[in-house]
Structure 1
Amino acid sequence: MKPYPVLFLAAALTACGGSSPEKQAADADSSYFSDRALQHTDDVTAYISNIDAQGPKVFYTLTAHDYAGTGSGPSGVVGLFSMTRRPIRVYIYPEGQATAKSVETWYYLDSLNSHVMLLREIVREKDSVRENSFYYQGLQLVNAETRAAADLSLLERASFAPYPRPTDTTSDYRLQPAVVNERAEKAIMAVKADRPDLSPAANEVRALGATHWASGNEPGWSLAVMPPTKIQFTTNYGEEKIEFPYAEAQKGDKDATEFTTTKGGRTLHVKFENKRCTDDAGIKHPMTVTVTLDGKALHGCGRPLF
C-alpha cells in the first residue's frame, strides 16, 4: 500500500493572481499542513509496513468471534499485541453469511500511547472494491484518501484520491478521531475478555497469546502453544513445568496440526487431531491431542484458541 497525500486547495489557489495578504497567509498555512500530512503519512506507512511484515513472528494474537460492535452483523476480531501486551493492530472482518456489501477494517495503533494512527478499510461490493485510508496524529485527522478498482487484484495499481468529506462530518465516524479510538478500544476489550467456553487455566494462557491448549489426566497435565516464544508443558498436576522453544506448526495426516521441539536433549512432539474428544468431566472438545515427551505418549483433549 503506497498512499498518496491529500491535495489541499492551496495549490490551486496560489495559481490565481491578485490574492490578498490574508488569502496568501491562508494558502501558506494550507501548504504547511499539506507537507506535514505527507510526512506523517510516509512515517505511518513505514511503521505499519514493519508491523505487517513481522506479524506473528514478533507479536502475539488474540481473537474474538460474533463481535457486535460494528453495527453491521456478527464480525470476527483479530488483535495483534506486543510482548509487553500493548495493542498494535486490530483487524475486524465479517462473519456469517455473505452479503452484497462487506467491510474489512484495520486499526493500526501507536505502540506508545495506543492511539489509532491509521484506519484502513476494504469495502467490497458486487462490481467494485474500494480502499479508504484515514491517518491520525494524536486526536487529529491529518489525511484521508480513497481508491477503487473492479476487483482486489487491480486495486494495488489504482491511484489514491482525496477522500470526499461530507458537509456534516459527524455523519462519518472515520472523520472523528475520538470515535475511531473508542471503536478500536471496544474491539480490543472484546479480544481480551475471557471466553466462557474455556477453563480458567485455558483463559489464562490465552491472555498471554497461546494459540492451542490441551490437557489430560495421565497424571494431570496441560500444554499451551505460545508463539512466537515457547511451548509450555505442565505435568504432575502443576508441579513440573517445562518450557520448550516455539516451533512452527506442521500439517500432519488428515489435516492434523503437529509441533516438534527440543531442549536440553529432550524432545516434545504434539499432535492435534480433528477428532472430537470428551474429557473425564464430560466436557466435549473439538480435538484429540497426543503429547509425546521423550518417547512417552500422553493422551488428552484440546482446542485452538483463535
Structure 2
Amino acid sequence: MKPYSVAILFSLVLFAACAGPSSEKKAEDGETTDELSAAVSTISNYATSIDVKASSGNKTMASHNFNSGDVTSGVIGVFSDKNTPIRLYIYPEGPQPDTSTETWFYLDTVTVAVQLMREIITSPSGVTENSFYFDGDTLLQAETRKAGDLASLDSAEIVPYESPFGREDFRFSAQEVNDLAQRASVALTISRRDLSPGANEARKQGASHWATGNEPGWSLAIIPFKKILYTGNYGEQKIEFPPAQAEKGDNEATLFSTASADGHKLEITFENKVCTDDAGKKSPSTVTLKLDGKTLRGCGQSLF
C-alpha cells in the first residue's frame, strides 16, 4: 500500500472515531438545551401564576427601612395560604441616585427557595430588565433586555446577561440570592417600630389600613379581599363587615363603603391630613367612620 493510501485510511478512521462521539454530544447538547428551555419556561409560568395570586387576595405585608446595598428600601411580600412568602418586591425609598433598581423574588411554595429573581433598573439612558432562573443551588439561566422606556421592554431582544462585576456578581450565586430574599422575609415578619401593637397585629393578618379613636375607644382593620373588622366600646363590640374596594374621594381621600353586616352599615374615609390622638401621637391620616348613622373620628394610616 502506498504511503498516501495509509495516510488517507488513517484519516478516515480518525474522522469516524471523532464523528461518532461528536454526533452523540450534539444530541446530548440538544437534549440539554431542550430541558433547560422547558425548566426556564416552567419557572416563568409559575411566576405568572404568582402574579395572579398577588392581585386576587393573597395576604400582603409591607416593611420599610430595609437595608439593601447602599440604599434604604421598602419590601412588599405576598404570602401563600400556608403563610409562607411566595413573592417579594424590594423597591427604593427616599431620595435616589439617577439609577434605581426594583427587584422581585419568586419563591417555591414548599422550599421557599428563590426560583426567579427579576430586576428592573431605571437610569437616564433607559430601562434594563435582568432575569435569573434557579433550580435549587444552581443558576439555570441569566438573561437581559434593554429599552428606552418601560413600555418598550416587551418587544426588546433578550440576550445572555453579562455582568459588569464578572463571576463575583452575587446574582450568579443561588446562596447569596436566597440570603437576600431571606433577609427581606424576616424584615416583613418582625413587628414594625412605627406601629402600635394593635396595628402590628392587624398587619400580620394582612390589613392594608388601621385606625383608632376614642368615642369611646374603637379600632378598625381593613383586610383586602377578606373583611373589615370594627371593634368598639373598648373591645365589647365586635362587628365583621364584608370586604370593600378602596375608592378615591375628594382631595386624594380614600373611601370604603361596606355592605350591611347583621343590620349594621359602615362608611369609612381616610383623609390625607395629619391627625394627633389624645396621647399626642401623630398619624398621617384623619379617619371618619359613619357607623349606623353615627359619626366617629380618629387617626389612622395605610399599613403598606
TM-score under structure 1 length normalisation: 0.87
**Structure 1 range deviating more: 177-186 or 155-164:** 155-164
Distance 1:268 1:283, change over 3 A: same
- State the superposition RMSD in angstroms: 2.2
The match for 2:37 is 38
SS at match of 1:57: coil
Alpha-carbon shift at residue 25 of structure 1 (Å): 5.0
Question: Relative to total residues, which structure has the larger helix share, 1 or 2?
Answer: 2
1:117 aligned onto 2:121: no
Corresponding residue for residue 107 of structure 1: 105
Q: Does 1:210 align with 2:207?
A: yes
Aligned-residue sequence identity (percent) comes to 46
Query: Are the equivalent residues in 2 in contact too, given 1:59–1:82 (CA < 8 A)?
Result: yes
Once residues 249 and 69 of structure 2 are traced to their aligned partners in structure 1, the CA distance between those partners, rounded to angstroms, is 40
- Whichever residue aligns with residue 231 of structure 2, its letter is T
Superposition pairs of residues 66-145 of structure 1, within 5 angstroms: 66-68=65-67, 70-145=68-143
**Are 1:178 and 2:147 counterparts?**
no
CA distance in 1 between counterparts of 2:233 and 2:91 reads: 41
Select the structure of larger CA radius of gyration.
Answer: 2
Q: CA deviation at 1:100?
A: 2.5
1:293 corresponds to which residue? 291
* Cα distance, 1:168 vs structure 2: 5.7
Find the counterpart in structure 2 of residue 304 from structure 1. 302
CA shift, 1:182, in A, is 0.8
What does 1:246-265 align with in structure 2 at a 5 Å threshold? 246-262=243-259, 263-265=261-263
Q: How many residues align?
A: 289
1:225 alignment partner in structure 2: 222
CA distance in 2, matches of 1:258, 1:58: 19
For each residue in 1:132-184, what CA deviation from the matched residue of structure 2 results, as whole angstroms up to 9, or x when unmatched? 11111122211221111222222110121122368962x11111111111110
**Counterpart in the other structure of 1:269:** 267
Q: Distance in 2 between matches of 1:183 and 1:173?
A: 10
Q: Give the AA of the match of 2:236.
A: E
What TM-score comes out, normalization by structure 2 length?
0.88
Distance change >3 Å, CA 24–CA 98, structure 1 → 2? same
**Structure 1 unpaired stretches of 5+:** 1-15
Q: Unaligned regions of 5+ residues in structure 2, if any?
A: 1-14
Name the amino acid aligned to 1:95.
E
Report the secondary structure of 1:266's partner residue. coil
Q: Give a deviation string over 1:107-147, Cα, whole Å, max 9, x none.
A: 01111221111001112222132111111112221122111
1:184 alignment partner, SS class: helix
What is aligned with 2:186? 189
Query: Does the 8 Å CA contact 1:56/1:227 hold for their aligned counterparts?
Result: no
Structure-1 separation of matches of 2:17 and 2:158: 32
Distance 1:39 1:216, change over 3 A: same
Name the aligned partner's letter for residue 244 of structure 2: A
Structure 1: how far apart are the matches of 2:165 and 2:76? Answer: 33
State how far apart, in whole Å, the 2-side matches of 1:20 and 1:248 are: 67
Structure 2 letter corresponding to 1:65: H
Distance in 2 (CA, whole Å) between partners of 1:259 and 1:118 is 36
Letter of the 1:219 partner, please give it. P
1:153 corresponding residue in structure 2: 151
Shift of 1:202: 0.7
